[in-house]
């Protein structure tokens, strides 16, 4: 296969890097995700780049096409977001080649030497890449991408992204960005009080357990998505997860049976669902046209999106249904939805958008 026959879409996050390989006709061929604790050093990014180039030799050739979106500039390895964008852009362009382009939303596709001035358009724009692709396929929808760490809730009306927020700060105000995920979120960030054996119990504000422990016990976390160390660096087993969630309320695993700890995990799940549902309601409130719109689910936690859709009597569309992959293996749709921004940025670079699909919804709440 020639290098100009494919494009590689990159989503460079602070905890994972996701890369997709798409043909020039828009067919997804392959996709992969690597854990990348970027806050611990740029060496982890370099290692992942090595893995990508080993997996797809075409990616290292001079004519290879690479397009990038990112959120990794937010990690505290960098003094600020502008420096983060500059360092990530320089590292990627040096390794992938000067023709690498960076997704900048309404500002288009930037070359590496344009990103220093346009850093604010490049920073944390991966949600917008996904939303623009969805908007080109579904006229009215609420995109809900639940990942390992965060949740994006993006309204789409009449084929246009109508988000109130345009960056992390304003999206946190509007409820369109929620720091809740299904792997890395510490349980003390889900609730400060929780019911156990019929009583409200204070939760320890310690990083004793994460949501990965909860969804291991509910059986909903796919093992391939469980790529980061546990809170205590211990085993990622049900027994170890029981011990960790017990510790959150001052207990040991032996203080209750397996069934009771599984029920307790369901209680944590319900707490997180309430947070997500409340923010979904906030986003919907500004857009009456979406009262009955379907939820488009993306991310490794989209099982919760489907549950939200069922609870609200809405339709549910898996992001993978919006991507052309006729020869997909059994697990490729799972990875398509999990790595949605990397797929979207590749497809947008090929197909473009016939007309602008972003219409910022001005609101005092997000200004």
- Residues 26-58: pLDDT tens digits? 999 999 999 999 999 999 999 999 999 999 999
Residue 364 belongs to domain with CATH number? 3.30.420.190
Q: For tokens 């309320």, name the residue.
A: 249
Helical ranges in 144-301 per DSSP H: 168-174, 211-217, 238-247, 258-285
Instruction: Tell me if 130 is assigned to some domain.
Output: no
Among 296, 276, 283, 280, smallest CA distance to 361 is for: 283
172 and 240 part of one domain:
yes
At 1 the pLDDT is: 61
Distance (Å, rounded) from C-alpha 154 to C-alpha 142? 6
227 shares a domain with 361: yes
The answer to whether residues 143 and 265 belong to one domain is yes
Q: 305 and 176, same structural domain?
A: yes
Asked if residue 55 and residue 142 are part of one domain, the reply reads: no
Residues 164 and 68 in one domain: no
Same-domain pairing of 146 and 108: no
Q: CB under 8 Å to 254, separation ≥6 — which residues?
A: none
Choose the final residue of a domain: 77, 95, 123: 123
Q: Identify whether 59 is part of a domain.
A: yes
Kindly state whether residue 330 falls inside one of the protein's structural domains: no
| CA separation for the pair 244, 208 (Å, rounded) | 6
In a domain, 82, yes or no: yes
Burial class (CB in 10 A: 0-12, 13-18, 19+), 51: middle
Q: Are 184 and 219 in contact (CB under 8 A)?
A: no
Supply 179's token pair.
């720091």
- What global pTM score does this model have? 0.94
CATH of the domain at 39: 3.30.420.40
The answer to whether residues 154 and 301 belong to one domain is yes
Do 113 and 55 belong to one domain? yes
Are 94 and 171 contained in the same domain?
A: no
Domain count, the chain: 2
Residues in the chain: 367
Residue 190 lies in a domain: yes
- Would you state the pLDDT for residue 357? 60
Q: Is residue 317 part of a domain?
A: yes
Tell me, yes or no, whether 19 and 144 share the same domain.
no
Mean pLDDT by 10 residues, the chain (367 residues): 82 96 93 96 98 96 94 97 98 96 96 97 97 97 97 98 96 98 98 98 98 98 93 97 98 98 98 98 95 97 98 96 84 94 97 54 39
CA angle at residue 169 from 166 to 170, to 5 degrees?
Answer: 45
For residue 50, give its domain range: 3-123
pLDDT in the model for residue 285: 94
Q: Which two tokens stand for residue 288?
A: 């009456």
- Out of 123, 148, 177, a domain closes at 123
Strand partners, 177: 152
Q: Of the candidates 94, 123, 152, which is a domain's last residue?
A: 123
Q: Do residues 81 and 196 share a domain? A: no
């Amino acid at each position: 296969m020639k290098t100009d026959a494919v494009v590689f879409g990159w989503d460079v996050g602070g905890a994972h890097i996701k890369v997709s390989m798409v043909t020039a006709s828009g067919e997804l061929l392959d996709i992969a995700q690597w854990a990348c604790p970027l806050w611990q050093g740029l060496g982890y990014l370099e290692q992942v780049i090595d893995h990508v180039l080993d997996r797809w030799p075409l990616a290292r050739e001079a004519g290879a096409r690479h397009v990038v979106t990112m959120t990794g500039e937010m990690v505290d390895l960098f003094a600020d977001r502008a420096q983060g964008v500059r360092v990530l852009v320089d590292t990627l362009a040096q390794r992938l080649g000067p023709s690498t382009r960076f997704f900048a939303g309404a500002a288009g596709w930037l070359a590496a030497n344009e990103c220093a001035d346009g850093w604010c358009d490049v920073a944390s724009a991966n949600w917008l890449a996904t939303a623009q692709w969805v908007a080109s396929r579904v006229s009215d929808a609420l995109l809900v991408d639940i990942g390992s760490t965060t949740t994006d809730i993006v309204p789409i009306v009449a084929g246009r992204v109508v988000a109130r927020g345009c960056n992390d700060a304003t999206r946190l105000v509007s409820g369109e960005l929620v720091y809740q995920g299904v792997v890395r979120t510490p349980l003390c960030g889900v609730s400060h009080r929780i019911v156990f054996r019929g009583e409200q119990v204070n939760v320890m504000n310690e990083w004793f357990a994460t949501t990965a422990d909860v969804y291991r016990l509910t059986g909903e976390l796919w093992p391939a998505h469980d790529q980061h160390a546990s809170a205590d660096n211990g085993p990622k087993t049900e027994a170890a997860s029981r011990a960790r969630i017990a510790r959150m309320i001052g207990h040991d695993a032996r203080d209750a049976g397996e069934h009771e700890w599984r029920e307790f995990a369901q209680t944590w799940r319900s707490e997180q669902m309430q947070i997500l549902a409340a923010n979904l309601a906030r986003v919907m409130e500004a857009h009456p046209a979406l009262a009955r719109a379907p939820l488009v689910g993306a991310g490794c936690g989209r099982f919760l999106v489907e549950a939200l859709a069922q609870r609200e009597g809405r339709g549910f569309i898996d992001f993978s249904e919006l991507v052309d992959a006729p020869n997909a293996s059994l697990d490729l749709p799972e990875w398509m939805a999990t790595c949605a921004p990397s797929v979207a940025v590749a497809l947008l670079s090929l197909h473009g958008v016939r007309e602008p699909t972003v219409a910022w919804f001005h609101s005092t709440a997000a200004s």
